[in-house]
């Protein structure tokens, strides 16, 4: 099976949305700020539900927030 | 360093101190005589029975004190809830801790199988209790720092 890694554009999208803070995003999706930090650092892959919640905040389809790449 | 990481470090240190002090205190009360005497079994029963409330109360006091000091020092209050990442980390830490305790339990039973006096089994249980507790907290620290 092909090895893949999940990347995201959360940090860039926050800045494009009036420089939204991590805390503001965390409150809108119902997690702690530390979880948003971990997602941006790609130290944590969110659940499907949380991924959808984040995409909804940015009003974008899921694949424009999270995307796959082949593992090196 | 996040609140969760600081709390994990405090928990590891407090576990080592609480269990260490408790063990050294109880060791002074170890009954003399035959290793298979009822007094020895009663002693170990008491050690474990008292250990549970002692660790619970001490842990609550230390975490409350830590929360107060952390809020004063950093001016950041502790998170009011746990989210999916916290729960996943907690689950993985509990899994690691349980595995360590199972190994300790098996080792304890093995001492009985080899006719080693029961005191060895109780000491192995005690040590596996401390180690599994610390593995749980160190696992949390690891997953919070390195990702999950």
Total beta-carbon pairs less than 8 A apart between chain A and chain B: 36
What DSSP state is assigned to residue A31? S
How far apart CA B42 and CA B50 sit, in angstroms, is: 12
CATH of the domain at A64: 1.10.260.40
Cβ A32–B83 below 8 Å, yes or no?
yes
Looking up tokens 């509990």 gives B94
**Of all helices (H) and strands (E), which one includes residue A8?**
strand A4-8
Q: Does B87 touch chain A (CB under 8 A)?
A: no
pLDDT of B127 above 80: yes
ipTM: 0.88
Its domain, for residue A8, covers 4-70
Summarize pLDDT for B77-106 with one digit per residue, the tens.
Answer: 777 789 999 999 999 999 999 999 999 999
- Give the nearest chain B residue to A42 (CA atoms): B147
- Give the nearest chain A residue to B3 (CA atoms): A34
Nearest to A31 among B2, B4, B83 (CB): B83
pLDDT of residue B77: 73
Average pLDDT, chain A: 94
- Which of B8, B74, B79, B84 to substitute to test the interface with A, most A CBs within 10 Å? B84
The band of B34, judged by pLDDT with boundaries at 50, 70 and 90, is: confident
Q: Where are the alpha helices (DSSP H) in A21-71?
A: 22-29, 33-40, 48-58, 62-65
Q: At CA B41, angle to CA B38 and CA B46, rounded to 5?
A: 125
Tell me how close the Cα of A44 comes to any Cα of chain B, in angstroms.
Answer: 5
B80 CB-near residues (< 8 Å, 6+ apart): none
Nearest to B4 among A30, A34, A42 (CB): A34
Report the number of distinct structural domains present in chain A. 1
Its domain, for residue B86, covers 3-146
How far apart CA A29 and CA A58 sit, in angstroms, is: 11
- Which of B85, B144, B145, B148 to substitute to test the interface with A, most A CBs within 10 Å? B85
User: Quick one: average pLDDT of B43-67?
Assistant: 91
Report the number of distinct structural domains present in chain B. 1
pLDDT of B108 above 90: yes
């Amino acid at each position: 099976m092909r090895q893949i890694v999940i990347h995201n554009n959360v940090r860039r999208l926050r800045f494009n949305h009036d420089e939204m803070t991590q805390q503001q995003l965390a409150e809108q999706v119902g997690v702690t700020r530390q979880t948003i930090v971990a997602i941006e650092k790609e130290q944590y892959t969110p659940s499907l539900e949380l991924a959808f919640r984040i995409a909804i905040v940015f009003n974008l389809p899921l694949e424009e927030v999270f995307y796959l790449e082949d593992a090196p | 360093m996040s609140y969760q990481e600081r709390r994990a470090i405090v928990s590891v240190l407090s576990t080592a101190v609480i269990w260490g002090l408790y063990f050294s205190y109880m060791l002074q009360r170890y009954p003399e005589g035959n290793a298979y005497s009822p007094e020895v079994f009663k002693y170990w029963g008491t050690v474990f029975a008292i250990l549970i409330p002692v660790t619970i109360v001490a842990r609550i006091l230390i975490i409350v004190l830590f929360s107060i000091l952390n809020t004063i020092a950093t001016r950041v209050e502790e998170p009011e809830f746990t989210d999916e990442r916290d729960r996943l980390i907690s689950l993985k830490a509990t899994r690691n801790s349980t595995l360590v305790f199972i190994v300790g339990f098996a080792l304890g039973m093995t001492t009985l199988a080899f006719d080693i006096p029961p005191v060895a089994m109780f000491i192995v249980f005690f040590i596996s209790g401390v180690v599994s507790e610390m593995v749980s907290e160190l696992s949390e620290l690891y997953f919070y720092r390195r990702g999950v």
